[in-house]
Chain A
Amino acid sequence: MHKDLRGTHLSKKAFDNNEISTTLGDPHAYYEWDTGMGIGRFLQGLKEGRIWGTHCDTCKRTVTPPRVFCELCFSKNITWRELKTTGTVNTFSLCYVNWDATLIKEPHISAVIEVDGTSPRVGFLHLLNEVDPQKVCIGMKVEAVFKDEKERMGDITDIKYWRPL
C-alpha cells in the first residue's frame, strides 16, 4: 500500500494565489414540516405553558417528547399525561464553538433534562441559563422558564431555557 498512495493536498497558499478551481452552488429550497399528532399536541401544550408526555399502558413507561405509538411494544396503548415543568439535568455541555467553528465567549449550555414524572433516563434536549456555567452539574434540579404568553408560538423555544430550582 505504501509506495503509491494517492491524494493531493490543497494548501492555503494555493488558495491565496488563486490557483484553485472551484464552483459554487446555493439551492434555495426550504421545508415546511407538519408537526403531526404527537409533537403537534406537545407543542400546543408549550404554548399553554404545559409539558405533555405519553404513558404506554403496556410498558408502563412515561416519555416526553410524547409519541402516539410505543416503539418498544409497537402498540398504540398510549395515555396522555401532563407532566411538571421541573426536572433534573441528566447531562450537559458548555459549548464554546458554533457549528462553523467560530468561537463563543460565554458558553451555550446544552443539557438533556429528565422532566419530573417521566420514567428514569427519559430526557429531552434543551438549554440552561441564569446559572454560572461552572456551577452546572449532573443531577441539578431545574425548572422551565417559558416565554411570555403572547410571544409563544407552539415551538420548542416557547421554553426559553431551564434554570436551577
Chain B
Amino acid sequence: MSKVGIVSAGMTKFIRRAQETPKELAFEAAKAALDAAGMTLDDIDCVIHGTAPEAFDGIHMKGEYLSDASGGWNKPYIRCYVGGGTGVFAPIHGWLHIASGMFETALVVCEEKMSSCQPHPQGAFLTIFDNLIERPLKPNLLWIFAMEMNRYMNTYGISVRDIAHVSVKNKANALLHPAAQLGAEVTVDDVVNSPIMAWPVHRLMVSPPSDGACAVVLASEKKAKKITNKPVWIKGVGWNLDTSYWTNRDLAYPEYVEKAARMAYDMAGIREPRKEINIVEPYDPFAYKELHHLEGLLLADRGKAPELAIQGISARTGNMPVCPSGGLLGVGNPIAAAGLMKVCELFWQLREEAGARQVPGLPKTGLAQAWGDLMQVGTVIVVGRD
C-alpha cells in the first residue's frame, strides 16, 4: 500500500450567509489549496468532492453541480456523502484513491452552503427522520441531540455545567482562527444561562448554520516529497456505520466511533492512543458531542471526558489539546466543510503553521473525527509528521 501525504490545505471563511454561490465557495477553497502547494489543476490526477444533503441547496445531484468548482471536469471524479461524517470521509476517499496505486495526486474539496434553505436551514434536516413512523410526529433535529445528551448525562451523572466547559474552550480557541464565525469569550455561567433550546441543550452549546468550503491536496509518498519538505502523512483511516434504527442504540456511548477509531489505530500502529495522539479534533456540533466522541475514540474513560475540559487538559496549552481550531462550536459548521476544516487544522498544526493558535510542544500526531448520517456514522483519520 502506497504511503499518502497531505501536501496543502485551503479554506474560505465560515460565514452565516455568504454572498458567494456554493460553486464560488468550493472554487475559492480548491484554488487556495492548489496555490498553497504551488500546483495547478493539471497536476491533479483525480478529484473527490464531499457535500451534505441536496436539501440545503435545493439542487439535485450536487456532486455534478459542484464538479467544475472542485476541478473535477475531465478527471476521475467522485462525490462522497455520509451526512456530517462527510468532511473526514472525503479525505479517506482521497487516501483510497492514492493508496490503491491508481493515482499520484488527489484534490479533496468539501463545501456546504446552508443559508439558501428558507426560512431556516434546519428545514433541510426534517427529511432525515423515518418517513413512515417519525415524521408524522413533527420532529426537529434538536430532539435527537437533546435526547442523546440527556441519556449521556443520566447514565454517568454528568451536569449541564460540566458540559458547558467545552463551549467556553472552543469558542475561545476560535477567537484566534481567522476564518471563524463564532469566536467569543464566554463563561460557564453564560453557557448555562443561555436560552434552553431543547432541554438539556442550551443555545451556547450548539454550532451555527454556516456557509464555507475547505480543500486539501493529497499525494503519493514520492510525489509528496517533491511538492513539500513537510508532508503530513495519513497514518490511519477508519469508518463505521451503526443501525439506522437510532432509537435502538445505546445513546450514551457511540460504539460505531470506537469501531472506526480502532480501525484507524490498528492501521497507524497506535497502541496507546492517550499517549500517542498529541492533538484531537473530534466532531463538536454540540458541546456534549466532543465528550461523547472523545470517549468513543478511547481518549477518555466512559463518562469521564468532561474532566478533560474542566481540568484544562484539553485546552490548547493542555496535555491533550482538543479542538484547538475552535471546532464547529467556534469556527462554524458548514456540514461537510466543517469535518475537513479539522483535517486542515491538523495539517497546519503539525507543520507549525497555525499562527496564534499553534499548539506548543511540536505535536507529532493528530486525529480528526466526524460523525453524521442519523447519528450513526463515525469517520476517523490519524495523521502524523513522520
Contacts and interface: CB of A to CB of B under 8 A. Distances in A.
A110 B120 contact: no
The bracket for how many chain A residues form the interface is: 35 or more
Contact of B18 (A2, A8, A71, A98): A8
Nearest to A123: B247
Contact of B178 (A2, A35, A99, A156): A2
B216 to A, nearest CB: 12
Contact of B150 (A42, A93, A157): A93
A97 to B, nearest CB: 5
B102 interface: no
Interface string A1-40: 1101111111000000000100001010001010110010
Interface in A84-108: 90-101, 107
B120 A100 contact: yes
B132 A138 contact: no
A114 to B, nearest CB: 9
B133 A111 contact: no
Interface in B247-265: 247-251
B360 to A, nearest CB: 19
A121 B353 CA distance: 46
Given A5-B178, A93-B198, A156 B122 contact: no
Contacts of B141: 99
B154 interface: yes
Interface string B129-160: 10111101101111100111011001000000
Contacts of A90: 151, 247, 251
A29 to B, nearest CB: 11
A63 interface: yes
Contacts of A112: 147, 151, 247, 251
A31 B17 CA distance: 31
Given A92-B147, A93-B142, A156-B133, A100 B122 contact: yes
A35 B131 CA distance: 9
Interface string B193-212: 00111111100000000011
A121 B248 contact: yes
B119 interface: yes
Interface of A: 1-2, 4-10, 20, 25, 27, 31, 33, 35-36, 39, 42-43, 63, 65, 71, 90-101, 107, 110-112, 121-127, 138, 155-157
Given A99-B123, A125-B134, 17 more contacts: A1-B179, A5-B178, A7-B14, A7-B15, A7-B20, A33-B131, A39-B133, A90-B247, A92-B147, A93-B201, A94-B199, A95-B143, A96-B196, A96-B198, A97-B198, A112-B151, A138-B154
Q: Which 8 pairs show the lowest CB-CB distances between chains A and B?
A: A7-B13, A93-B146, A99-B140, A91-B151, A94-B199, A95-B198, A7-B12, A6-B28
